[in-house]
Structure 1
Amino acid sequence: MPFHVLRRGLAVATVLLTAGIAAPRAAAAETAAPYLPAPTGAHPVGTTSLYLKDVSRPDPWVPSANAREVMVSLWYPATSAGSQRARYLTPKESELLLTSSEITSVPPDILSRTRTNAYTDAEPAGGRRPLVVLSPGFPWPRSSLTALAEELASHGHLVAAIDHTYENHGMTFPDGRVVTCAACGRPDAGDFEKTVVQSRARDVPFVLDELTRKYPTRIDRSRIAMAGMSMGGASVGETMLADPRVRAGINLDGRMFKDLPGSGLSRPFLIFGAEGAEASWDRNWPHLTGWKRRLTVAGSIHPSFTDYDMLTRQIGVPFGGKLAGTRSVEITRRYVRAFLDLHLRGGPQPLLDRPSRRYPEVRFCAPETCR
């Protein structure tokens, strides 16, 4: 299948990755500043960014870089709200994301104006917390999962989203360096998708090592989960096989480019994505031997499992999904949180056992019924 028409799991150099839908160009005459919906938990949310460097390996996309550098955003429950809201993207990152996606009818810095709900100067609440690692789609930045991260932090989780360097349109290091998508020019190389998956399955354990070393009194090492969107979702299973610390995994609309082994994966796993057949999910379903669910969302498209289906609607360049307003974010937040509460906190979650009248868009299915 050509790189630019993959339906799930591999994001190309456009913000819209769903096959058959072109990136929109027309925008409303007046473009209001976009916003993320407020999280629903009891905790105010704080956030900080971390620069991490793995000197044990070269960068897989730029071999001349003799170390793997990554940026991580950490969201956490805070004692009270701060005074300085976190920036969603820098103006330059917004410009790179939009222009790479051929969206030129809105101000190039518009996404940098997105109103977030986390504060950079908020004091962390005490106690050891469950940790959730987020891996974004390719070539999207870690900020694409901010609404989900804020929600989970407001309910008491620590959340770490990773920018997989050179795998997104633009990211900024603390010294001011802005790097772009070196991997985007290599989609036709042999085993490209597997290379991405395997690289991310090394990034995540490295980040876990660094976080548990840096925050030994804040992270409950027995309660770690991973959620990934698109290529990030494709990497969850591989990461869980590589690192037993990851107790549970969520694949958000990601084609599984590297199959699970015949021995299977026995830890809890949720597949949550758009409607329709997906051969890689069918193929790997029997190899998920522990608790598992496969849920689909009517009216969703690939970006619906990030902030982007909602934000592009707000800035006047909607992608064509049928989930109006903030509904796509609301649904994703609620089901991800239910999964984490079940498997990291042990609380019963009827939402994961049967269809819900509150979320009629969500369908329970198995391979033979997901057509």
Structure 2
Amino acid sequence: MKRMLVVLAGLLAIATPASADPVNTPYLPAPTGSRPVGTTSLHLTDENRQDPWVPSAGPRELMVRLWFPAKSRGTHRAQYMTPTESELVLEGTGVTGVPPDILSRTRTNAYTDAAPAPGRHPLVVLSPGFTWPVSTLTALAEDLASHGYVVAGIDHTYESFATTFPDGRVTTCAACTLDVDDFPTLLIESRARDVSFVLDELSGYRFVDPSRIGMAGQSLGGASVGETMLTDQRVRAGANLDGSMFKPLPESGLSRPFLFFSEQQITDPTWERDWPRLTGWKRWLTVAGSVHQSFTDYDMLAQQIGVDLGSGLPGTRSVEITRRYVRAFFDLHLNGEPQPLLDSPSRCYPEVIRKR
């Protein structure tokens, strides 16, 4: 498999610094939409489900970050992650030679004191890669929100190097140390249950349109999108960003819209297997010069702090491409807006190639 479990837990490392002196403060590029972006965090507890990785912890707890179109711009920018989270992520990915809190300094574009804009908005759920916090998808989330989407990013507890709760607890990756048969499948099934619980909790929010829900995930998060769509009919469209399909789609198929978006590397046999089982609208796009982290903030941020991932996408290019194509997918399938970008090559994005 292209993404064996060692990749999920180990190859996610950001590599070694190319320079001992990081450049200026890391930053996320400004969103491309016209709406200011607000953000808040939710602490949710599923009283009907015991935590699958640490049963002694009791009911399943999740931290969820919401991004949304705001009435007006605020004054307090959201923190990308805490200094402790930055230190644990860098330690977990094997990065040395940079200040341990460097990722916590990343400049974001969403405001914690901004109120949601009126109206009901489509909802996109984001699920990150194994060991990574959902903050790795912040640039994508901010951009979607600036175009009118509510975005719910889920930190899957005990599957990340660091998750911080309101009472100050910081959980780490307990799942990383487990020796369990068919572990990737268990992870995917657990994430699908996490998403469905979060959708239950958000269904009563006045600014969420429950008839327009999509999901995107990167790496293991992308692998979880298909399972979520199979088990929860509320998710109308799904995008897998470079994640092997560890749990096969059923031969009966999945008929709702689905996007494969990946590196231009050796073909993933799990995608080849599941491609015929996608029986609705579908696309398989690859990005020349990308690496696994190019579908998160980390390709871009690694370059900013002087770390070489081997990416061929300079500056903010990886974020620009991911934002544009993921938004086009949801604009088409949640908003009904035609998207020629998904049908033919683009002079603006020559790196993106339609494989199928």
- From 138, 143, 146, the equivalent of 1:146 is 138
Structure 2 distance, partners of 1:267, 1:177, is 39
Contact 1:14 1:102 in 2 (8 A): no
Name the SS of the counterpart of 1:249 in structure 2.
strand
Name the SS of the counterpart of 2:34 in structure 1.
coil
Name the SS of the counterpart of 2:230 in structure 1.
helix
Q: Deviations over 1:117-156 (max 9, x none)?
A: 0000012100000000000000100100000000000000
Q: CA separation of 1:326/1:8 partners in 2, compared to 1, >3 Å: closer, same or farther?
A: farther
Q: Deviations over 1:63-83 (max 9, x none)?
A: 112200000000000111101
- From 195, 198, 201, the equivalent of 2:189 is 198
- From 56, 73, 76, the equivalent of 2:65 is 73
Task: Check if 1:272 corresponds to 2:272.
Answer: no
Shift in Å, 1:51? 0.2
Shift in Å, 1:212? 1.0
Contact 2:18 2:308 in 1 (8 A): no
Name the SS of the counterpart of 2:55 in structure 1.
coil
Q: Deviations over 1:180-235 (max 9, x none)?
A: 0001112x53101001000001000000000113x1x2111110000000000000
Contact 2:162 2:173 in 1 (8 A): yes
Structure 1 distance, partners of 2:256, 2:126, is 18
Q: CA separation of 1:275/1:26 partners in 2, compared to 1, >3 Å: closer, same or farther?
A: closer
Shift in Å, 1:267? 0.2
Structure 1 distance, partners of 2:170, 2:68, is 26
Q: Deviations over 1:221-279 (max 9, x none)?
A: 11000000000000000000010000000000000000011110000000001012110
Shift in Å, 1:320? 0.9
Query: Structure 1 counterpart of 2:221, which letter?
Result: G
Contact 1:10 1:254 in 2 (8 A): no
Q: Deviations over 1:258-315 (max 9, x none)?
A: 0011110000000001012110000000100000000000000000000000001000
Structure 2 distance, partners of 1:100, 1:336, is 28
Alignment-derived partner of residue 121 in structure 1:
113
Query: Structure 2, unaligned stretches of length 5 or more?
Result: none
Task: Check if 1:361 corresponds to 2:348.
Answer: no
- From 197, 204, 218, the equivalent of 1:229 is 218
Contact 1:75 1:149 in 2 (8 A): yes
Alignment-derived partner of residue 326 in structure 2:
336
Task: Check if 1:131 corresponds to 2:123.
Answer: yes
Shift in Å, 1:8? 9.0
Q: CA separation of 1:25/1:7 partners in 2, compared to 1, >3 Å: closer, same or farther?
A: farther
Alignment-derived partner of residue 203 in structure 2:
212
Query: Structure 2 counterpart of 1:152, which letter?
Result: L
Task: Check if 1:6 corresponds to 2:3.
Answer: yes
Q: CA separation of 1:195/1:141 partners in 2, compared to 1, >3 Å: closer, same or farther?
A: same
Name the SS of the counterpart of 1:205 in structure 2.
helix
Structure 1 distance, partners of 2:85, 2:219, is 20
Contact 2:127 2:221 in 1 (8 A): yes
Name the SS of the counterpart of 1:56 in structure 2.
strand
Task: Check if 1:306 corresponds to 2:311.
Answer: no
Task: Check if 1:48 corresponds to 2:37.
Answer: no
Alignment-derived partner of residue 242 in structure 2:
253
Name the SS of the counterpart of 2:49 in structure 1.
coil
Shift in Å, 1:116? 0.1
Structure 2 distance, partners of 1:208, 1:9, is 31
Alignment-derived partner of residue 280 in structure 2:
290
Shift in Å, 1:26? 4.5
Q: CA separation of 1:319/1:197 partners in 2, compared to 1, >3 Å: closer, same or farther?
A: same
User: What is the TM-score of this pair, normalised by structure 1?
Assistant: 0.93
Contact 1:59 1:67 in 2 (8 A): yes
Alignment-derived partner of residue 100 in structure 2:
108
Q: Deviations over 1:88-137 (max 9, x none)?
A: 00000000000111212000000000000000001210000000000000
Query: Structure 2 counterpart of 1:340, which letter?
Result: F
Task: Check if 1:35 corresponds to 2:27.
Answer: yes
Task: Check if 1:177 corresponds to 2:169.
Answer: yes
Name the SS of the counterpart of 1:112 in structure 2.
helix
Contact 1:10 1:231 in 2 (8 A): no
Name the SS of the counterpart of 1:319 in structure 2.
coil
Structure 1 distance, partners of 2:22, 2:191, is 39
Structure 1 distance, partners of 2:94, 2:320, is 28
Contact 2:192 2:224 in 1 (8 A): yes
Structure 2 distance, partners of 1:319, 1:58, is 38
Query: Structure 1, unaligned stretches of length 5 or more?
Result: 18-22, 367-371
